[in-house]
């Protein structure tokens, strides 16, 4: 054994003397640094609406580069300035996805299904998180009896299927807007697809809307009460049959607005901006202004599919457009 030097001995003696007078410190065991988790906590958030319980379950987010064509009637610089003003990345647009589960006491319904389990694998967990977060929220996918779809874009319907193409919600009836079904399942409309992007959307709709999904499908019309407490509202433009939903229990209501606007910090604040994915930009803007006006004047709660998680907010009118006011996180429900 190596001999201790006189200096080390003195230090050691001094340390021992201190330890003798401060026994608690001396008794504390040595600890290694705690390991970091390296991943986000499961994302779900609950609130009450009358007697209903709503659970917002994040599906993750998208990552889209900001190009000149991101907003067709505003410059890239204007979009970047809007993002910079919010301390956000000005090169990449991050769009969240917020499907919800509505427990009415009678039904257990999901509104929109996220990007699907296959996307979880292909995006390395960036999105397609719904089933994982649903399980973390204590909700069994097999217990869902109703899936309500707002429109047929992939981020809303792909989650109907698991990665092996079996049903994500095997015991659910699937409710889809009739005008949306008519458009996307029409071979004539498919032949008229205005761009390669729309053509891909048609192909994706036909991939998902087949087999076991079709067997469980039920079309609903605008204005219909789909299941007790969930009513369809026509909000066309972003997609020909795009539909929002009013969930109502007693005097409480929330407007589940799907993609009337995408990220509110861009498109609620600038309702005249036309994002590249709007099917009919003029119709979409008309719908957007009508809905935002109604939300601002009625002060109705809004649940935004692409709002920052958990996507629950109110809308107020400003001199240039509108502004979203997020509801404060509530640790109780
Ligand atoms: Zn969407």
- Asked whether residue 89 is domain-assigned, the answer is yes
Domain of 276, in residue numbers: 41-326
Check pLDDT > 80 for residue 293.
yes
Find the CATH number of the domain harbouring 155. 3.60.15.10
| CA 2 / ligand 1 centre spacing (Å) | 70
Check pLDDT > 90 for residue 32.
no
Give CA–CA dist 204/158, Å, rounded.
Answer: 8
Report strand pairing: 217-220 vs 173-177: parallel
| CA 156 / ligand 1 centre spacing (Å) | 6
| CA 194 / ligand 1 centre spacing (Å) | 19
| CA 306 / ligand 1 centre spacing (Å) | 7
Q: How buried is 134 (Cβ within 10 angstroms: 0-12 exposed, 13-18 middle, 19+ buried)?
A: buried
Tens-place pLDDT, residues 122-154: 999 999 999 999 999 999 999 999 999 999 999
| CA 42 / ligand 1 centre spacing (Å) | 21
- Asked whether residue 25 is domain-assigned, the answer is no
- Asked whether residue 129 is domain-assigned, the answer is yes
- Asked whether residue 11 is domain-assigned, the answer is no
| CA 309 / ligand 1 centre spacing (Å) | 14
- Asked whether residue 20 is domain-assigned, the answer is no
- Asked whether residue 332 is domain-assigned, the answer is no
pTM of the model: 0.89
Neighbours of 85 (CB within 10 A): 11
| CA 276 / ligand 1 centre spacing (Å) | 12
Give CA–CA dist 127/114, Å, rounded.
Answer: 8
Give CA–CA dist 88/64, Å, rounded.
Answer: 13
Residue 181 confidence (pLDDT): 98
Q: What is the mean pLDDT of residues 228-250?
A: 98
Residue 5 confidence (pLDDT): 62
- Asked whether residue 137 is domain-assigned, the answer is yes
Mean pLDDT of the chain, nearest integer = 93
Percent of the chain with pLDDT strictly greater than 70:
91
> What letters, b where the CB count within 10 A reaches 16 and e where it falls short, cover 169-193?
beebbbbbbbbbbebbbeeeebeee
Check pLDDT > 70 for residue 22.
no
- Asked whether residue 72 is domain-assigned, the answer is yes
Question: What's the total number of domains in the chain?
Answer: 1
Give CA–CA dist 136/86, Å, rounded.
Answer: 31
| CA 33 / ligand 1 centre spacing (Å) | 42
Residue 189 confidence (pLDDT): 96
Tens-place pLDDT, residues 139-198: 999 999 999 999 999 999 999 999 999 999 999 999 999 999 999 999 999 999 889 999
Check pLDDT > 80 for residue 305.
yes
């Amino acid at each position: 054994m190596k001999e201790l030097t006189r200096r080390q001995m003195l230090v050691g003696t001094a340390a021992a003397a201190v330890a003798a007078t401060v026994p608690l410190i001396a008794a504390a065991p040595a600890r290694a640094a705690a390991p970091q988790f390296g991943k986000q906590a499961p994302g779900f958030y609950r609130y009450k609406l009358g007697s209903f319980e709503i659970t917002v379950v994040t599906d993750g987010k998208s990552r889209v580069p900001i190009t000149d064509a991101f907003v067709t009637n505003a410059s890239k610089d204007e979009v970047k300035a809007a993002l910079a003003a919010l301390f956000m990345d000005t090169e990449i647009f991050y769009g969240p996805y917020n499907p919800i589960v509505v427990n009415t006491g009678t039904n257990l319904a999901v509104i929109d299904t996220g990007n699907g389990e296959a996307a979880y694998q292909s995006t390395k967990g960036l999105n397609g998180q719904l089933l994982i977060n649903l399980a973390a929220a204590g909700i069994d996918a097999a217990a869902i009896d109703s899936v309500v779809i707002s429109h047929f874009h992939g981020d809303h319907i792909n989650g109907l299927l698991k990665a092996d193409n079996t049903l994500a919600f095997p015991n659910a009836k699937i409710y889809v807007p009739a005008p949306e079904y008519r458009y996307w399942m029409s071979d004539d409309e498919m032949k008229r697809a205005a761009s390669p992007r729309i053509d891909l959307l048609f192909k994706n709709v036909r991939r998902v809307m087949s087999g076991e999904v079709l067997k469980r499908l039920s079309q609903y019309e605008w204005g219909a009460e789909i299941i007790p407490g969930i009513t369809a509202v026509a909000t066309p433009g972003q997609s020909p049959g795009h539909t929002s939903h009013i969930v109502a229990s007693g005097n409480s209501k929330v407007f589940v607005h799907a993609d009337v606007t995408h990220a509110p910090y861009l498109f609620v604040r600038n309702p005249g901006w036309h994002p590249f994915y709007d099917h009919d930009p003029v119709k979409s803007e008309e719908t957007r202004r009508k809905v935002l006006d109604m939300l601002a004047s009625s002060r109705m709660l809004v649940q935004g599919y692409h709002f920052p998680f958990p996507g629950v907010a109110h809308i107020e009118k400003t001199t240039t457009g509108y502004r979203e006011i997020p509801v404060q996180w509530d640790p109780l429900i």
